[in-house]
Each structure stands twice: as structure tokens, then as C-alpha cells.
A and B are shown apart, each in its own frame.
Chain A
């Protein structure tokens, strides 16, 4: 049995929104509403979904950048849910993050070598080792050592993303949470960064939690995929299960909505009606019923259970068997 690195049980993250009109009550946005999943050592697990589905919040809760409202997070069999900042520090070294926007996530007033060095200082590594490590890291991510003396604005988007990756790698983490790492990049550069992430995973035996809205990227990088809709996982399975045998109607619609770079391909497309509902006021029953082409009366009142359909393939829909 492969080793579980992170175990997430029923985590919820609710945000207090604006106060309701003439009321003391606050509107509650259930950004993440009861997620349970494992991340296995050495794998890439992807979270996919559209804007507002809670995928980024999940990443932040795992890193404890946000305090979960409920539920527990285990890292390497240790519960880290309620640890304070000091107790958490050794775990921070094990999990690092790569952000979406390579323009906003690097301090413009620091030199590249200082940016990469910073996590090493925090974790108390001596100056000589730090210097050596920074140069090593620059080369690992495909930059030159002389780049260390420059400032972020001197680099292109792709190069900045490499700097962000070097910073994440500095403390030898085991888990990297990559939140839309290639969404801001042009296709030709996107391919460079995806290849780099793949090489690094092999070389350093990294585990990735890959957050993305782009299904073609997800298919390329993942071992397993979790599809999210309005704060919940609606389907989770291996890459093959999700892309070749999707069970949930949302996954099917999402896959059929992706434009494919082949002009001869004529597909029957499932076009969903309507918009993504407001997470502050999610629909009753199955949250997807307002847009689902197969929704029945039952879907409006009863929330479907998240159940296994064999071989580690999970889905939350009343009619998985009927729709197969």
C-alpha cells in the first residue's frame, strides 16, 4: 500500500460575509464545505473546478494559511490542524507553495538571490550553506547564477515562475501546492514550466497538489484528479477514470466544454445552462441541480452521498448507475 502523506478529513472553511439587511446575522460563504481526501506520497493530485468552487481555499487551508472552520488535517500521520505557529514551523518546511501570479508573488524590492534565500534564513541555515544552496537552486530551475543579482522586474513571466519554484524548493519540501502555476503564462512558456515541474518531481521525489481550472493541463500532470463544484468534491478518481470514464454529469459537461485544437473534430457538446450559483446562497439538495441536464425532483431536495463506485473512484450523484 502506498504511503499517505496528507490526510484531509471533512475540512470546512466558512467565511463570514456581509451582514444581512436589518439583521444581526451574517451571511456565511461556505467556500469549502466538507472535503475528505488523501494525498499519496510521490503523486500529483489535482483539484479542478471553475471560479468560486473553493479550490484555492482548499490549498490555503492545507498549508494552514487559513484556519479551517472544521475538520482535521494530518501530515505524515501527525495532526497539524490545531498546532500554533511555533509548533507548525517544522511542517512549514515540508510543504511549500507556488503561486499563480508570478508578477505579484515576488517582492519587487528584493534581489532574486534574497528572495530564494529568505526561507533558508527563516529555517536557521548558516550563511555559507545558504549561498551555495541559492546558486544550486538557480541552476536547478534553469536559470544562471548571475541572475541572482537581478530584480524580479528584469525577468519575463516564465522566468519569474522559475524563481517562485526555486524559492519553494529551497527548504527541501516534500509537498508542493501549486495554485494555477501556469495560468498566467503563454502556451510556449507554459510547456517549459510544466516540463520543469515534472523533472523536479522525479529528481526530488516531490508530491504535488496541483490546483487548476485547465483540464488539458490537469490531464497532462496528474495521477489522480478531484473535481470540485461549489465547495464540495463531486468526483474523485485516477486520471484515466476521470478523463475516460467520468461518472458525474458535471465532470462530463466540463470535459465536453473544453475546446479541442482539432478543427476536424465535431463533437456533441453538453452546454450547461445558466451560471455558477453564488456560493453564499447555494442551491438546495444537490448544488449542481440548477444546471444539471438530468436533474429530477429528488436532486432538488436530497443531497447525494459521496460514494465509492469501485477501485478508488468516488462520485456524489444520485444517478451514477442510471447515467452510465
Chain B
């Protein structure tokens, strides 16, 4: 039996507003093994960021609530965990890095102090030791002159360096799981390449599992062992990275891959998925992808397909594969 660091089962996160309930995440299941990198891909509004916020239980200040399902971390269901327990886990066992390195650092505190905060909170050590650890982490993420950088303010650093600082902060307590929400989207390609190399090195050195949330299929192909594809709040397909890219089953995954441009690949005309991502207030009845799907049958409009195992290692939410799945 393989040990899973994290297991998410049929997660439901709903947002309650005056205009009604928005089911931002509505049926997402996956699991992450030790040392594995799992990618969640999907377009804007697919619920991938809300999934990560739900795992960290960071929805307290929003109208969002986890309405169902479970998030099992090392045998504990985080959905039922108390806030005080969560505080021990956050930043210590599960750490997170965000898309915007500009806004996720506090502009009025020095870099060192921000890294030390997590270390002092979660480990028994003196201020001096925490500072040494901060410098050590800055060195580990490839920052030159770390002894200078600890005493700098965020605005004195470039975007790439800030993202390195974020990673140093996240890794400072040796987390078992790192959640990275679009970690390179705001960066230039040459800087993105640096950060991706760094994250790869860290998974090997520290045996950290990574949950990587991105919309970029290139980044997924490069970084992930397994991939979950999300559409309109649901997981629609999951498999290992090779199967997803070479033998995708769900029409949405197929469409997404066909519309992605790849360097060095000559196509006369790009394939596109017609229409738009449905907006929450106008969710289709049955399968959420039916209005854009080239294979939509009458049944797809009325009934929602279940998320079935197509093979041991491959889950699909589509009626086309129902027979084979059984």
C-alpha cells in the first residue's frame, strides 16, 4: 500500500451570496503520494485555486464554506480540524506559495523577519538560530549575497527574487506538502525556467510532495508526475502525465491539448474549443462541458456523468467511457 500524504475525496466548496449559491468546487477527488508532484490544470474559473485554499482552510474570511467531502492529511480529516490545529499545520507541514510575489510579501517588514516568523512559530529555537536558518534557506533557493538580502525590504528585490524568497519561506520548516498556486505565471520565461529548476531540485533534496496549480500545459509536462484536469468546479480527468498528454480521454482534455501551441510544432490552423467557460449563475443542467463538447449526446444535457475509473490509474468523467469503465 502506497502512503498518501494527502487525499481529497469529493470536495465541495460553495460560496454563499445574495444571488445564490456558487458551487466553485463541486466534486474534486485526488491523492498525492510522498515525493510526488501532482498538477491541477484548468482554465480560469475552473475552481483550481479554491481547491488549494480549501486544503489550507483559508476560506474563513470569504463567503466560502466547505460543504462536503473530506481532505485527509496523514490520516487526519482537515475539514473537521480546529483552527488551532490548522495553525500548527499551516506553514509547518503544508506550505503554500502564491502567484503574485509582489503582493504576498509584507512590504513593511524585512525579508529576514518574514522568513523567521514561520521558523520561530513552529520550531523551538532562538532568534539567532532562526536568522541563521533564514540565511541558509535563502542560500538553498539560489539567492546570491543572502546575508544582505535578509535585511532588505521586498520592494528592493526583483519579481524572480521575491518568488525565491517565497519558496525559501515555504520550505523553511521542511513541509511535507508544498502547494504552489501558479508560481511562475507572473514571471518572464527565463526567470520561470530558473524557478522551475529550483522547485525540481527541492523535491529531490527534501522529498517534498508538490501540488502544482497552473494553466500552462508546458509547465505541467515538465514538472508533474500526475495530472488532474478541472472544468467548472469538477475534476474531469486524472492520470499520469504521459497518459494525459498521449492518450487523453475526456473531450475537454483533448480540446485543451489541441488548442495549446507548442514550440517547434507547425500547425496551419489551431483547433479551438467553441464557446466560453460557463458562468456560475448559468451552469448547464447535465454535463458542464456539454455545450462546448463535439461528442455531446442527448443524455449529456440532462444527466451529469460520474467520475469513474477507466483503468486503475485513469479516472474520467464522461459518458463516452461508461461502458469501458465498468
Interface residues, chain A, with chain B CB atoms under 8 Å away:
50-51, 156, 158-159, 186-192, 194-195, 198, 213, 215-217, 219-220, 243, 253-265, 269, 271-272, 275-276, 291
Contact = CB atoms under 8 A, between A and B. Distances in A.
12 contacts: A50-B188, A50-B190, A50-B191, A188-B273, A219-B264, A220-B270, A243-B263, A257-B193, A263-B241, A271-B190, A271-B194, A276-B190
B43 A217 contact: no
Contacts of B158: 275-276
A262 B194 contact: no
Interface stretch (B115-123, B210-218, B304-312): B210-218
Contacts of A253: 190
A187 B260 CA distance: 6
Given A262-B221, A271-B194, A272-B194, A216 B189 contact: no
Contacts of A186: 43-44, 215, 277
Nearest to B276: A156
Interface of B: 43-44, 158, 160-161, 188-194, 196-197, 215-222, 224, 241-242, 245, 255-257, 259-264, 267, 269-274, 276-277
B238 to A, nearest CB: 15
B255 A188 contact: yes
Given A187-B43, A191-B272, 15 more contacts: A50-B190, A156-B276, A186-B43, A186-B44, A186-B277, A188-B43, A195-B269, A215-B263, A219-B264, A255-B263, A257-B190, A257-B192, A260-B218, A262-B221, A263-B241
* A50, A220, A254, A259 pick with most chain B CB within 10 angstroms: A259
A213 B189 CA distance: 8
The 9 A-B pairs with the shortest beta carbon distances in the complex, nearest first, are A259-B218, A191-B272, A191-B259, A50-B188, A186-B43, A188-B273, A257-B193, A216-B261, A191-B270
Contacts of A258: 189, 218, 263
Contact of B219 (A198, A255, A259): A259
Contact of A191 (B218, B219, B263, B271): B271
B197 A254 contact: no
B166 to A, nearest CB: 16
Contacts of A187: 43, 215, 217, 256, 259-260
